[in-house]
Structures are given as structure tokens and as C-alpha cells.
Amino acid sequence: MAGRTVTRADLCEAVYQQVGLSRTESAQLVEMVLKEIADCLARGETVKLSSFGSFVVRDKGERIGRNPKTGQEVPIEPRRVMVFKPSSILKHRINGTEPDGTDED
């Protein structure tokens, strides 16, 4: 199930083709949107895009892990991780099904 990877350049080209901005303006727009999303996440804010999903930053505490080669216990430092939770609309679109109206995201 190896699909094609969409790159920034692909997104810029799509904006150029569909919106009608110049290629330079399209690239700037895509970069501005991605920068704003990244800045919000860096501040610990949740980014919710209606009908698409939410990007959430979570704090993970320190824990003990194990080196799989040696079996030795090693501490894993506390860190922040980002998770993406797709909306029910996006889930249905990916699966090619119709939403039944009972899910809330």
C-alpha cells in the first residue's frame, strides 16, 4: 500500500493551479500556513481544522525503557509529542463511506 508522498512543492503547485496565484505567491501562502500551524503547536496550542482533524501537543512524563539489544533499563526523558486526530468526515472520506451523522469530531 505504498502510495505517493505529497510534498510542499506539490501543495504549492496545487494552490497555483486551483487558486490562480503566481507560483511565488502560492509558495509563500503554503509556507505561511505551515509556519502558523508549527508556531501554534510549538506554543502548546491545539490546531483544529474543521472537517479535517486536530493536531494536539501532549506532554509525556519520564519513564523507564529497555534497550532491545541488551535488555538494560534506560530512563526516557520527559518530552512533548504531537498527535493527529482525524475528524470523522476525513475518516469516512478515506474509507469511501458515507457519514451516518452520529460521530462528533
pTM as predicted: 0.77
pLDDT at 104 over 80: no
From 41, 39, 19, 20, select the one nearest 31 (Cα to Cα): 39
Query: Taking the mean position of all CA atoms in its chain, how far away is CA 55?
Result: 6
Query: In the structure, what pLDDT confidence band is assigned to residue 6 with cuts at 50, 70 and 90?
Result: very high
What gap in Å lies between CA 17 and CA 61, rounded to an integer? Answer: 45
Residue 103: CB partners within 8 Å, gap ≥ 6? Answer: 88, 91
pLDDT in tens, 33-54: 999 999 999 999 999 999 999 9
- Cα four-point dihedral sign 10, 12, 15, 20: negative
